[in-house]
Amino acid sequence: MQPLLIGHLFPDYLNIYADRGNIAVLGRRAAWRGYQLEVRALGAGAEIRPGEHDLFYVGGGQDREQELIAPELAALGPALREAFEAGAVFLAVCGGYQLLGRSYRDQSGDELPGIGLLPLHTVAGSERMIGDVLLECELEPGWKETLVGFENHAGRTILDPGAEPLGRVVAGFGNDGESGYEGCRLGRAIGTYLHGPLLPRNPWLADWLLAQAIAHRTGDLPAFEPLPDELETQAHAVSARRAETRGGRF
């Protein structure tokens, strides 16, 4: 099988809180299962052909970085949406999550364009929402898991009516500090505010993303055997306890 191809969008600008580590986790877990990953940096004017990339990754950035790359990312919007419709997987974190929606109005009031893939928009608030987060997720019917991470954002992300959140907030703020939900999931696309980076402490999500990327490449969804995730499980538990110490908000 050809290597799985990951398109890493604007990695030089969107890499706050070591979000680049998510790519390292995907590569390692793929290798342990006999798959090879090729990571290709995608910046302004990148050529994106439908079916070529199996997974796209967008990390987090501050308002300054988002302002710098938002028009260039939006220009790639048609090609990225076409790739999504062809089955490509997406993972977007924090600033990347905001820019996968229709728009982000920043602290200065400027309206930054998004690519319009996820059904949402974001408006900057006056106070930051910071701390460990614990979510309950159900990506597949009857398959419930917990997701942990660290949030630090002023943006209030509003999902469109009927849009599916990534999870229910057990502890933390989530999308807007009011709705009780965090992130957004649309088919094989996931957006979230959870940094940390996200995947080392949530290996089940890394494996879900990998399986979806493999299904895009081969047409068949693989059934993975469990890996010895003792350290990952410990890290998950520590983050969950920190979040629970904050107290449930919803």
* Beta carbons within 8 Å of 161's beta carbon, 6+ residues apart: none
| Residue among 189, 185, 184, 191 at smallest CA distance from 216 | 189
**Would you call 94 a catalytic residue per the annotation?**
yes
Distance of CA 109 to the CA centre of its chain: 25
Residue matched to tokens 């992300």: 157
- Total Cβ atoms within 10 A of residue 152: 16
Sign of CA dihedral 203, 25, 4, 189: positive
Q: What angle do CA 188, 177, 9 make, to 5 degrees?
A: 35
Amino acid at 10: F
Q: Point out the catalytic residue in the list 94, 184, 216, 236.
A: 94
Which residues are identified as catalytic? 94, 195
